[in-house]
Amino acid sequence: MSEKLKIALRTALAMVLAFGIALAMGWDKPYWAGLAVAVCSMSTDGEALQKGLLRIYGTLCGICLAFLLLIVALQDRWLFIGLIGLIVAISTYMMGGTRRYYFWSMLSSTVLIVGIFSGSDAERAFEVAVLRSQETLLGVICYTLVSIIFLSTSTSKHFLTSLTAHVSNIREYFERVMGGQSGEQDGKGLDQLRAEIASMQTGLHGQLDVAQLDSVEIWEARRVWRKVLEDLAETVDLMEHLHLGRNELSGIVSTEVLPEVRAFTAEISRRLDAVRRLIGDGNTEPGRVTEHLDLEFSRESVAKLSHFQRAAITLGRDRLVGLDRATGGLLNAVAEARGQGRFSPPKATPAQRCWIPDPRRLLAGLSALTACWIGCLCIIYIPALPSSPIWVMIPVSSTMMAAALMPFFSPWLILKPVIYAMIPSAMVHILLMPHLEGFLQLAVLLFAGVFLICWFMDRPEMKMARSISLILFVVMLQIGEPQHYSFTYAANFAISVPFVILIISIARIFPVSFRPEVAMHRLLRRFFDSAVYLLTTLRWDFDRQPPWFERQWRLYHRRQIASLPSALAMCANALPDAALGKASRTELTNLISTLEMLGNRMQDLVSLRDTPQALGWVGELKSSIRNWRLGVQEIYSHLAENPDNEEINDLKGRLQAKMAELETQIQTAMDKDTEGRRSEADDTSMYRVLGAYRGVSETLLSFVDNASRLDWTRLRETRF
């Protein structure tokens, strides 16, 4: 039986079963059970079970929180609305930082449902809460039973298959990066391959979350599988650094400075192939990695290079050393996860937690809060408002999901699928439902409708349309006991939809705009402001531990420059063609890639601040490095305000002159040191620092060149 048929059958069977039990029990609003089935209608058992559990947990926690609100603010309307808005804002903020975002969505939705349907009546609120929890649990149980007993699909196999394909892509990416192949191969460019790897890497943790629910083997080794995904992420990150840092890599590959670089490439490729085969076939012998590869420079070849070239290859070798350790740990962890022995990984240093809120998530919460208050005000000041709960529930739920997960998504794009789903559902409610006699005929109608929706909307790109169609079909049928039929209900619902989308659109542009043209400038400004702050931290004394708050600010700004390029990439994808003007999307993509590389260079530079430094070199180069830092800060400040500022070209020339002056000063200091007072370790430390400064400078100049190709005037135009 095909997957397409399985999904359609189990969703339709579970929907009929859920409605049948709810009607038999005489429960009001049985479509709540149907909604639980609709949101659980994923492709595999583990995904459905995870979504169902999150829906149950979120519903129960939301009920408890709603009761607390009713106790505190039942007699004060404005306090009650204010507290509900606060819960919505906090839930939206939390959704942006976790894979289990659906829990927070259900928590806030349940608070809204209990608060709105209760009508400030404590007894009614208790009835709504009990009914909501009963029918949510019923829908989840029905779908889970149908999935497991009749039409089971293994999530663990899907996870292992995806992981195998991911490792194969990583291996191909590594071989092409080390081989200097950037063009298309088998119809796939290197940048496209990198994008596929990044996309799949993001979804692997979620796949593991659901795979461990339907596989005992993965559940028992779930911590080891987490370690596998962490090692994979570190491996991909190091490869991206090698790919983006072409100067460092070309210096190693194109010269004989590292005699063992070809053997190193072959060994890393062998490890990745062993990982791939081990994941696909647990019986493969992996070969334990206990020793690290030799990556010593050839002194004769290095002596022929300039100081900046030595700095570049020093950073390149550091990345290769990190790749050696990451792939070795990856192979050992996969072997342990597949039962090929127990290896003791090195103890990981716990990551420092940043307590400063993320501004993007704060703005998302503010947007959801705006939608909540607009909907509540509409209900209060327009007493005859048709389908009044819709004016709060749909705008808030949609705004939360969009602001937290798809911040640059235009709400008007869902108008067409809503209309296409609403018209057939309304016709069924008005024309067919009055002629049904008994539950058997209703069950046939339910089964046929749900089956057809799932059958014809099975493609991944139609997932949103399928969810909208199922939800509207279940809600607009208005199945209940006793049964009522009303053209007015369908008409009121249809009239409400455009106004609901209008509320979502207002929350998207007020008080802060999420339009891609506006958001792009805001995100760029925040990136360069964070870069300026990180440069100022280089002034800290090496022998002084900065206070906790300063360390928190530095961690916050480091996370900003690490995460903002991906947000800018989402923003760039959502930009309309009219906003680009004369520029092409390829030029915009190159700008975002260069910005990501600049963020990586800044991370390298700031990380070196926490490592031991050659104090002799620090004294020699302090003045020149200070002048360089001030020059880069000035360019960053101009870019934050106006990326196409004409003064930037003059600043570029001055920065290049400062880098030449720095290299001259290094050579002078080397010539003075005739007695060899500086050790080889001191020189290596100096080259790492010099390479980091050089990397920032070259990438910054490349960004300025790419920025000059965009039509910034067109990007700033107000567009509706």
User: What pLDDT, in 10s, does the model give residues 345-355?
Assistant: 555 556 678 88
1 vs 699: which has the higher pLDDT:
699
Count the Cβ atoms, other than its own, within 10 Å of residue 410. 18
Compute CA distances 256 → 260, 312, 717, whole Å: 9, 14, 52
Percent of the chain at pLDDT exceeding 70: 82
pLDDT digits (tens, 9 = 90+) for 1-28: 677 888 888 889 999 999 999 999 888 8
pLDDT at 614 over 70: no
Residue type, 242: L
Average confidence score pLDDT of the chain: 80
Decide if pLDDT at 527 tops 90.
yes
Strand residue runs (E) in 492-537: none
In 3-state terms, what secondary structure has residue 679?
Answer: coil
- Mean pLDDT for 392-397 is 78
Query: What pLDDT was estimated at residue 320?
Result: 84
Instruction: Evaluate whether 513 touches 537 at the Cβ level (below 8 Å).
Output: no
pLDDT digits (tens, 9 = 90+) for 537-584: 877 555 667 788 888 999 999 999 999 998 998 888 888 888 888 888
Better-predicted residue by pLDDT, 15 or 697: 15
Residue 186 — pLDDT band, cuts 50, 70, 90?
very low
Highest mean pLDDT (candidates 45-59, 298-312, 514-528): 514-528
Lowest mean pLDDT segment, chosen from 163-177, 264-278, 344-358: 344-358
Residue 611's pLDDT is 66
- Rounded-to-integer distance, Cα 181 and Cα 172, Å: 11
3-state SS track over 72-119: HHCCCHHHHHHHHHHHHHHHHHHHCCCCCHHHHHHHHHHHHHHHHHHC
In angstroms, rounded to a whole number, what is the distance separating the alpha carbons of residues 475 and 34? 8
Residue 245 has pLDDT above 70, yes or no: no
Say how far apart CA 309 and CA 115 lie, in whole Å. 66
**482 preceded by a cis bond (ω within 30 of 0):** yes
Q: For residue 444, what pLDDT band results from cuts at 50, 70 and 90?
A: very high
The pLDDT of 624-652, averaged and rounded, is 76
DSSP per position, 279-344: HH-TTS------SPPP----HHHHHTS-HHHHHHHHHHHHHHHHHHHHHHHHHHHHHHHTTS----
How large is the average pLDDT for residues 109-137? 81
Mean pLDDT in residue range 276-288: 71
